[in-house]
């Protein structure tokens, strides 16, 4: 148990601030599935009098395609970020930010759809189903997930490089400067020294102080 907690801690520390936001939103979305999403109202006759009974149902108690899709999306985002925290190298179309943004938008759509098309609840005649505060919490968590994905996309967080492949460069980053050329180790050839012509015999000449003694005569 200690080793698992230490691994989770290391993964959490390896994530960026925006990735942690997305992970927290996905984890809280899983927890929201046990919150009361639906309010069930039933009209019953007790001793000749019509009475109303109210009850709440969690998302997991009214299981359908919508709730299953939200669970898959939240678990998928957590698995993605856990792999990134372990420096797993793989590429997703559009990048991690676009995927998390789409996941948050999909959750928002599913929750909104559930507010319009409420699930069928088994009960007596006269039973009506409404929504309660838990489903609004789930909608806000989907919004937070989409916002975190948008920030990850805007930050251009680099993906871990695949073995043997060059790391992906941010689209807006400048080209890396060229590597400096190695210094030329070949010796520099010296130009031959020009010798002044000797004056004819009998003609005086001034000694050039730059000439060597062997060149004077």
Per-residue pLDDT tens over the stretch 31-82: 999 999 888 887 766 666 767 777 888 888 887 889 999 999 999 999 999 9
Alpha carbons 128 and 133: distance in angstroms, whole number: 17
**pLDDT band at residue 164, thresholds of 50, 70 and 90?**
very low
Asked if 26 and 106 touch (Cβ cutoff 8 Å), the reply is no
Asked if 77 and 146 touch (Cβ cutoff 8 Å), the reply is no
**pLDDT band at residue 89, thresholds of 50, 70 and 90?**
confident
Model-wide pTM > 0.75 = no
| Residue 162, helix vs strand vs coil | coil
**pLDDT band at residue 173, thresholds of 50, 70 and 90?**
very low
**pLDDT band at residue 128, thresholds of 50, 70 and 90?**
confident
Q: What is the residue extent of each domain of the chain?
A: 2-35+59-120+133-155
């Amino acid at each position: 148990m200690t080793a698992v907690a230490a691994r989770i801690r290391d993964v959490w520390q390896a994530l960026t601030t925006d990735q942690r936001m997305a992970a927290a939103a996905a984890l809280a979305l899983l927890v929201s599935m046990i919150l009361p999403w639906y309010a069930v109202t039933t009209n019953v006759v007790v001793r000749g009098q019509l009475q109303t009974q109210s009850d709440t149902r969690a998302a997991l108690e009214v299981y359908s395609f919508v709730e299953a899709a939200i669970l898959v999306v939240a678990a998928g985002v957590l698995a993605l970020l856990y792999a990134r925290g372990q420096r797993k190298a793989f590429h997703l179309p559009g990048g991690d930010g676009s995927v998390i943004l789409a996941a948050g938008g999909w959750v928002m759509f599913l929750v909104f759809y559930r507010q319009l098309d409420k699930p069928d609840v088994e009960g007596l005649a006269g039973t009506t189903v409404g929504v309660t505060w838990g489903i609004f919490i789930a909608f806000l968590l989907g919004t937070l997930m989409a916002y975190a994905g948008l920030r990850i996309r805007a930050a251009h967080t680099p993906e871990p490089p695949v073995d043997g492949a060059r790391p992906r460069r941010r689209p807006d980053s400048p080209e890396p400067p060229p590597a400096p050329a190695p210094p030329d180790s070949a010796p520099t050839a010296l130009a031959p020294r020009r010798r002044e012509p000797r004056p004819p015999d009998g003609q005086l000449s001034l000694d050039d102080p730059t000439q060597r003694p062997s060149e004077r005569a």
